[in-house]
Every structure is written in C-alpha cells, then in structure tokens.
Structure 1
Amino acid sequence: MAKNFDRMEDSNLSANPTIHEVSDPARRVLVRGGLAAAVAGLFGPLAAGSLAGCASTAGSGGGAVAGLGRAIGFKGIAMAAVDQVVVPEGYSAQVLYRWGDPTGVAGSMPAFKTDGSNSADDQALQAGMHHDGMAFFPIEGSNRGLLVLNHEYVDDGLLHVDGMKTWTPEKVRKSMNAHGVSVIELQRDGAKWSQVLPSRFARRVTALTPMTLSGPAAGHPMLRTAADPSGTQVLGTYNNCSNGQTPWGTYLTCEENFADYFEGPESPDAHQKRWGIRKGNGAKYRWHEHEPRFDAAKNPNEPNRYGWVVEIDPQDPASVTGEEVAA
C-alpha cells in the first residue's frame, strides 16, 4: 500500500529538497551501481562480474542477489510467494522468541493463549508484537548472551479476542504492553540455540514503563506536562524501529512515527503540523480514548516527549528502565 504523504510529518522547513524528491528511481539505480562497485572492490575479481546486476533495473531477475551469493559462498534463493522461512543450502533457521512467548521473568511466565485472551498484565511479561531492530550482547563468548529486540507496533485485530469491536482501558494497556523492547537470555548447545527460562536478566520495557529523560533537552518547557512538570520523567517507549549498541554495553532503540499514536486538535498549530499531529491520527490505535496523554488537544506537549533514542542497560534489570537520550 502506498503511503499518504499528505498525512505525514513535514519537518523539513528549509528550501532544501525533500527525501521524496531525491529518492527517484534513477537515483536509486545510481546508488545500486555504486554499491556494486564498492562490493566488487571488496571481494575482488570474483565479485566484479557477478555483481554487475546491482546497477541493472528491477527487471533484471535478481542477478545481484544471486551474484553476491556466489561471491561469498552460498547458493542464492529463488523468489517465491510461500508462507515460510527459506534459507540458503547449508544454513538453518529456528524460532527462538515468538509473540506471546514468556520473556523469562522468574515466577511470572504466563502461557500464550491463541484466542487473544491473555490479559494486559500477561502481555507485559511476554514477547511483544512485530519484532524489529535487535542486538546480541555476549556473556560467555559466543555460546551465551542477551538478545535485546524491538517490538515496533501491534495488530489489535489479533491482539484481542474480538479485535477492536469493543474498546476498553484494558485493551489499551494490552496494546501498550505489546510495544517496546524485550531482553531475553539465550544459550547455545552445539548448533542449537534456546531461551533460558527463567533468567535473571529477563525484562520487558513497554509503552507504560517509566523512563528518565537525559541530555540537553531534559527539563525543557516543551517537555513539561501537568503530570510531569519537571519535563524529565517520560512514561514508556513505542514504535521502536532501528537500534544500536554503545561501546559501554548498552542498547539503543529509536522511536519513529510517534505522531501516529496521537489524536490531534481540530486546528493544529505550526509545530503540530510540522510533526504530523493532526485530527484523526489517533483512529488507528485509539489509545487517546482511555489514555488522555495521547490526546494532543488536551496535552499538547506530550508528543514532544517521544521520537527520541532510548538507552537500556540489558545486564542490569534493576537499573532505571531506559533513558530517553535527548541529544
């Protein structure tokens, strides 16, 4: 489905071209060609010929993927519309942590119910929906460590017994708890990985988890609300997409598209228009119906408290749960 750019944020207030203007198909072909040249230089003459397809058009039949596979030693995978995970010959894939699986908190590992009847409290102790960016933190070499992963968004139609036919505070809490981040412990036995249950490191960070805002923006007037006059105590993280690791061993998760969760006022001001806070935005998730902080007409500063980078220490479950790094 094509995106409706008219309903998205317009944060580029300069006279510079937008990303949509510079990302035309011709430019993308040029970028692919540059990538092909770079990889060819990396892998030498063997790759030079096989990667020529990178600069070809979309109708080239996937030569770039197959060529790269030959260059680094695996057989390429043919395109197919199948509902399964397919990996190259000689490789294997296994499921480690599905939506609803227990995170591994000792004494609190509710079983997943396929009919959607798990409670909001259950979901706060289970894998969230739609895994995204993730990172592995070794504890014992490469045989044991912590996997930290994002849960970017939810399908409320699957999350609840009757989807969104009815709407309650409990459903909003469950939706919030299916967002955020998981910290789970993994161990390897030979070629197989498994989740450690329970684990002293196991942890869920959700859209309801208290956070501390740090950095130069902390306490700014635009971050202050009636619930948090200090502008330093944010509640929760959500729409977590990209990620990173710091040299000191913490996990960074990045909040995107935060505006999609806020119901905007009838007449948004220039700042709200810039970030896409508009009337009707809250219709998708409907959090604002039972969580007033997601009603930007009532709490205009609340949207400013999201869209940051959140830092989490995976090896210290007792630490302040995430810091929004306002740098």
Structure 2
Amino acid sequence: MSDTARKFGLLPMLGHTKGKRSAVTCALKCDNACASAVCNTSSNSYFRDIASASVSRRAALGFGAAGALAIAFGGSVASAEPALADGGPGLAAAAKDGFGKSKLTFTAIAPVDAAVDAFTVPEGFGWQPIIRWGDPLFNDAPDFDLFGQSAAAQARQFGYNNDYTDILPLEGAKDRRAVLFTNHEYTNESIMFPAALPASEARAISRAAHGLTVVELERKNKNAPWSYVKDARLNRRYLSDTAYELTGPVAGSPLVRTVADPVGRTIRGTLGNCSGGTTPWGTILSGEENFNGYFVSAGTSDQDKRYGLTSKPTARQWELDDPRFDTRNPGYENEANRFGWIVEVDPLDPASTPKKRSAMGRFKHEGANVIIAKSGHVVAYMGDDERFDYLYKFVSKNTYRDGKAAADRRHNMDLLAEGDLYVAKFSGDSPAGEIDGSGTLPADGAFDGAGEWRPLVVGGKSAVAGMGVEDVLVYTRLAADKVGPTKMDRCEDVQPSLLTGKVYVACTNNTDRGRIGKEGATEVNPRNDNRDGHVVEITERGGQTSTSFDWNLLLVCGDPAVNKTAYFSGFPADRVSPISCPDNLAFDSVGNLWISTDGAPSKTGLADGLFKVTLDGAERGRVEQFLAVPRDAETCGPIIHDNERTVFVAVQHPGEDGSFDAQTSFFPDYVPAGTTPAAGQVRAPRPAVVQVFRTKG
C-alpha cells in the first residue's frame, strides 16, 4: 500500500478500480465518489419509460427512408445555427473547406501498455515540456528543489496537476508571443513530499500548488517550439487566498455569506478545477468540480448529501489550518456554497479580479464551453461530472458584440453574469426491449432520439416550483431533480463545434448503472456497468438557443477485441484505435473531434492518450490514437493547432501509484539513475504541459 494510503487511511476503491484507474486518484481527485452512495437519489422517470412504445419515434412521426436521409445528411448542418454555415459569429475560417483537410497528418500509434513510463508520439513527431510542476514563474522564485520545497516558493512556481489548458496569441507578436492558461486540479502529497517535511508545511505547499496559472510564452517562429518566459508581465498565480468576485443573482445572498465575508460577494480561492473553455472575447472559463472533498460538513442535510459533503476528515486536512474548511464552525456554515461555480479569468490583465458566475449554476462543473448563437446570445454547455447527474445549458440575457473596441470587450465580459439556465431531458426512438443493457444496437441501427432543455431559471425568475432563483442556483442539483432531466453517465467535457453547431458530450463511464437499486440502461446511456463510456452528439433543432434537440451516439467506447458492442458510428471496428473513458474534447481547424482519455480500455491495461475522430463522410467514427501518456497518467487539456502541425496536452498525475521513496514514473525529466540532474530537473514525476510537433515530413 502506498504512502498515501498509510497517511490518509484505507483506500475504499483499492481492488475495485478497472483498467488502469488508480485507487489513489479516486481518493485524492474525487473523494472516492464511486465508493460512496450515489448523490442523486431522485426518482426521475427512466428513459425506458419514455421509450416503452413498440413503435419507434420515426415511425410515429411518419418518417420513411427519405425522411431519415434528410435527418442524417440534410438536417445535420441545416438544423445548426444558419449563421454559422454562412460565416456568422464564432465560425472557424476553415469551415468552408469542409472536414478532413487538416495539415496534421499522422500514422496512428499502436496502443501502449499502461506500465510503460514513456510519452509516446507518432513517427515523425517529437515532444518536449513547456512548463512543469515547480518551474519558477518570477525572478524572485527559486528553481524547483524536490527536497527543499516551501509554500512561499510554490506560490511563485507552476502548480500541480495541470488540467484545462489553452494558448492565446498576443496581438502584434507575429506568432512569436502568446499566453498560456492552465488550472491545477488537485495534489498527491504522497509522491510530492519527503517524509521529513512537517505536515503543516506540506499542507501549505499543497494549497499553493492548487489554483490557476497564467504565463507568457515565446518562440523563434511559428514552426519552433514554445518556451515559457520567466518574469513576464502577464505571469500570474491564482492562489487559495486570491479574491474572486461572485457575480449574478447569488451575489450578496444569505446563502453565501460567512463571518469572513458578511456581504457574500468576495470568495477566497478556487478548488478542484477541472476542464474549462475559452470565450470569443478572450477570457478563460474554469470549472470547479470536486470541491466537496475539501470540506468537513455535518453531512446530514439534503443539500450536503446531494453534493457529497460529509463529516469525515478530508484527505488533505486543510481544516486543521483554516476554520472555513470545516463548515460546522460558527460563521462558516455557507463556505462550501461558495465553490462549485464556473470561474472566468482575464489572462490579458494581471490586475483584474477573477469572477465566479453564479447565473451558470452550482454543481460539479467539468467545465463550460461557449458558442455564439445566430441571435448573438452566448450559449454555454456544461456537464456535471457525477454518476447519474445531468447535462446543462446556459443562454446569456444580453448579446455578443463582434467588435474590436475596448468597450465591446468590456460589454462581452459581463455576458455570463445574467441569463437562462436549462437541464437536458433525453428520449429515444427504440422499443424498451431493445435497450437491454448489453450495448447491442437497436433494430434501427443507431442509438438516437430527441430531447428537450427543461428550464430552471428563465428571464431572471425561477422555473422550479417551491424554489427561488437563489435556491435554484446554489442548489442546482436539487432544483434539476424536480424537473425530471435524464440521469447521465458522468458528463465531463461538453464541446459545441464552431463549424456545425453540433454539441458533443463526453460521458466518461458509470459502473453503477444497472446495479441493484440503481437505474438501468437507457438509450442515451445504453450499457449497464458502463466501464468504457460513450460520446453523445446533439443537434439543436432551432439553433443554439432552441429548447429542443435531436441526438445520437457518436461512439460507444471500448476495445473492439474485448468489448464486442463497441460502436463507432458504423465505421469498421477492426480499423479503429481502442478508446475508453472519454474525458476532454477539442476540435481542430477543420472540424475533426479530438478526445483525451482518463481510464484506458477495460481489461487490456492500456495507457491513456489523445485520439482523433473523423466526424464526416465515409470515415465518420474512425478513431486514431495520436499519443499515449506515461505510467499512471491522464491526458488533459488538448489543444490542436493543426495548421502548425502541433498538439498540446496537459499530463496529469504521472506516477500516481508511487511513493516519494519508490516513484513509478520519472516523466518528464527522465533523469537516469546515478546521473546528476540538470538545472531544474528532478528524478521524480512532475505534471507538465507538453507540446508535440512535427520533426520531419
């Protein structure tokens, strides 16, 4: 058993994880969510109750073969925002070129064994880290010293376990300067610190290793790799004591007031940041996800139970240092309500105050990704990363200004402060008997159907009986339970395509589906014991602001050699790379979908990686593995700059199962035993942002 297990007690998921998923990750990242009671005990109608009729929805609506073709080939783009297809707001310039013409060509790598401690890329490509845990951001920050860490040093260095990442070019820099944003999801003290380090200092360093980082980059030309710039003007760390402004309807509410913030408008820090998104006006959105694992609570109220808050000591025990992390302390009863939001950061203004956007609801946000509707409204899609929880959509009250004036950007930076919030209800077109939990395709040859966005807040008013707006937004899960949405298999990243308006939802997995007392298979979640996950494709019927949609499953993931029901939109299963546990999503400039994974194919022990998926034409559903990450690591934050033949990923928790004295990974420095490390190198795993680039051809 690892030092982590000895330090924090037994690991409930030890011996229960499948594939390469680590029980240590379960303990530190999500507070053993899969070993705990399911938070959602609501009795929403099962999907199979909706689809129980023996006649399919298509037949009921009178669709024949011609109608089906119109949906598949004519309606797919036409039912997205017409403005997008005509070069409207948010359209990538390459849309007119169609899919599949990317300059980033490669031969898919073979799957890599999970025990291999290597970063693997295709032939003709190379890789190097841009920035690693502990790299100094400022001149007054020391070089990283594994045996001489301190909280003061970490506060001026790059944080731990980088997740969402984006690179924004700086105006007027001629492709040679940019700014990188990344968030830091959680820490693994067992492999970070030597045993001799005092526990209180380890906790302080851990707090400083959380939060967010902005750092400037530079390169010689657009074909050269990036390096980070020490002490650049825009460099910034967002720490546990950084002030965040709470905006929107909950700002000032009694539900978020504490003794330290009696007016309920200023929150210290951000926790459990996972994925995110980048807005058209140049800000970054970051999702506060597993915040519950940082708080001790009474754990007895409906609100506590629905958000996974308990009375047990936390893994990191920050409650020993700061009373706000124990909500049983007088005056801090509402502290946990101040986390679980979407955070908006302006990376171009180091003096700006980051915002927490209460209008977008409070739950375990994987992230938020936006698209501009034809009407000019900003539409954000968000997943709640919990077994049997929901998919959400936010529509801004005001509209986007497509201008370069400073006043336009200021206007746009307030668009997420007000708007309408919805939750998704899916129905299917197959008889209930054909959805048996095995993942076998129904007779019509596809998992598909219709859906609606059910309102939670509309026009500034609650749409949920018995709950006011503030209650709906602070306790969004409880509000959603009341309107009967569809329970999903861990909605993680949700990405709208800027070329078609279609929306893609990564459902990572749900091994509880179909167990005794738990909801069974539904057509949008068609497998019981869903270890490998799936990807949903949504087409909004009347554009992004519509309240109805059509959907299908793009992928039902797995290794076809092991899982015979793995499905790739009809593409031959023997010609794809095996893929499991889709997590983060991204698009290249011509509309191909890229998927990073967290869990690896079941029973095969393969490393996680990054995969390209073709969405259009004869090769729709083709999955090709581009890279694999080192031992115990997860692939996060993909960025695809295909015009420059470059890809970026955040490598999170390499060597997770090791201990400080018995490391299992040495990524990315790979210092050989018995040799002296170069400046800044260590012989231990360091989460890092990595760039992959063409070296020949």
Q: TM-score range by the shorter chain?
A: 0.7 to 0.9
The alignment's C-alpha RMSD in Å is 2.6
Matches within 5 A, 1:159-178: 159-162=192-195, 166-168=198-200, 170-178=201-209
1:243-265 Cα offsets, whole Å, 9 max, x none, are: 11112111111110110111122
- Distance between the aligned counterparts of 1:72 and 1:148, measured in 2? 23
As a proportion of its length, which structure holds more strand?
2
CA contact (8 A) 1:128 1:151 kept: yes
The answer on 1:268 being equivalent to 2:297 is: no
Structure 2: tracts of 5 or more residues without a match: 1-16, 19-31, 48-71, 78-99, 360-697
Displacement of 1:215: 1.3
CA radius of gyration, larger in: 2
The answer on 1:232 being equivalent to 2:230 is: no
CA contact (8 A) 1:176 1:208 kept: no
Match of 1:113 among 117, 132, 145: 145
- Distance between the aligned counterparts of 1:175 and 1:325, measured in 2? 26
Q: Partner residue of 1:138?
A: 169
Displacement of 1:109: 2.2
Q: Partner residue of 1:85?
A: 119
Displacement of 1:113: 0.5
CA contact (8 A) 1:177 1:208 kept: no
- Distance between the aligned counterparts of 2:352 and 2:104, measured in 1? 42
CA contact (8 A) 1:186 1:196 kept: yes
The answer on 1:5 being equivalent to 2:34 is: yes
Change (3 A) 1:234 1:4: closer
Match of 1:156 among 169, 189, 214: 189
Displacement of 1:171: 3.0
Secondary structure class of the residue paired with 2:219: strand
Displacement of 1:9: 6.3
Following TM superposition, the consecutive aligned residue runs of length 4 or more in structure 1 with deviations greater than 2 angstroms are 1-9, 11-14, 140-143, 158-161, 170-173
- Distance between the aligned counterparts of 2:226 and 2:349, measured in 1? 23
- Distance between the aligned counterparts of 2:38 and 2:231, measured in 1? 42
Which protein, 1 or 2, shows the higher relative CO under an 8 Å CA cutoff with sep ≥ 6? 2
Change (3 A) 1:300 1:6: farther
Matches within 5 A, 1:1-327: 1=17, 4-5=33-34, 7=36, 10-11=39-40, 13=42, 15-17=44-46, 73-81=105-113, 82-103=116-137, 105=138, 107-115=139-147, 117-139=148-170, 140-162=173-195, 166-168=198-200, 170-190=201-221, 191-265=224-298, 268-280=300-312, 282-298=313-329, 299-320=332-353, 322-327=354-359
Residue 5 of structure 1 aligns to which amino acid in structure 2?
Answer: C
Of all paired residues, the percent bearing the same amino acid is 38
- Distance between the aligned counterparts of 1:158 and 1:206, measured in 2? 21
Displacement of 1:16: 4.2
- Distance between the aligned counterparts of 2:349 and 2:38, measured in 1? 36
- Distance between the aligned counterparts of 1:241 and 1:226, measured in 2? 28
Select between 245-254 and 301-310 the one with higher mean Cα deviation: 245-254
CA contact (8 A) 2:146 2:193 kept: no
- Distance between the aligned counterparts of 2:46 and 2:338, measured in 1? 27
Change (3 A) 1:255 1:9: farther
- Distance between the aligned counterparts of 1:296 and 1:16, measured in 2? 34
Change (3 A) 1:227 1:11: farther
Change (3 A) 1:192 1:73: closer
CA contact (8 A) 2:142 2:153 kept: yes
- Distance between the aligned counterparts of 1:142 and 1:243, measured in 2? 24
- Distance between the aligned counterparts of 2:337 and 2:37, measured in 1? 16
1:89-134 Cα offsets, whole Å, 9 max, x none, are: 122211111000012x3x322110022x221111111111111011
- Distance between the aligned counterparts of 1:217 and 1:174, measured in 2? 32
Residue 109 of structure 1 aligns to which amino acid in structure 2?
Answer: A
Change (3 A) 1:8 1:308: farther
As a proportion of its length, which structure holds more helix?
1
CA contact (8 A) 1:97 1:127 kept: yes
1:123-174 Cα offsets, whole Å, 9 max, x none, are: 11111111101111111243310000011100112333327x8532x33221
- Distance between the aligned counterparts of 2:183 and 2:122, measured in 1? 26
Q: Partner residue of 1:59?
A: none
Secondary structure class of the residue paired with 1:283: coil
Structure 1: tracts of 5 or more residues without a match: 19-36, 43-67
- Distance between the aligned counterparts of 2:129 and 2:151, measured in 1? 24
- Distance between the aligned counterparts of 2:231 and 2:198, measured in 1? 35
1:45-68 Cα offsets, whole Å, 9 max, x none, are: xxxxxxxxxxxxxxxxxxxxxxx9
Secondary structure class of the residue paired with 1:304: helix
Displacement of 1:316: 0.8
Secondary structure class of the residue paired with 1:175: helix
- Distance between the aligned counterparts of 1:184 and 1:224, measured in 2? 33
1:184-209 Cα offsets, whole Å, 9 max, x none, are: 11112242221112201100012221
Secondary structure class of the residue paired with 2:292: helix
- Distance between the aligned counterparts of 2:38 and 2:259, measured in 1? 26
Residue 122 of structure 1 aligns to which amino acid in structure 2?
Answer: A
Q: Partner residue of 1:21?
A: none
1:176-235 Cα offsets, whole Å, 9 max, x none, are: 110111101111224222111220110001222111111111111110111111111100
- Distance between the aligned counterparts of 2:335 and 2:118, measured in 1? 41
Could you tell me the TM-score, scaled by structure 1's length?
0.77
- Distance between the aligned counterparts of 2:152 and 2:36, measured in 1? 34
Residue 102 of structure 1 aligns to which amino acid in structure 2?
Answer: P
1:279-326 Cα offsets, whole Å, 9 max, x none, are: 21x431111111110102222211000011111111111112x11111
Residue 239 of structure 2 aligns to which amino acid in structure 1?
Answer: T
Could you tell me the TM-score, scaled by structure 2's length?
0.37
Change (3 A) 1:73 1:253: same
- Distance between the aligned counterparts of 2:284 and 2:220, measured in 1? 25
Residue 220 of structure 1 aligns to which amino acid in structure 2?
Answer: S
Residue 325 of structure 1 aligns to which amino acid in structure 2?
Answer: R
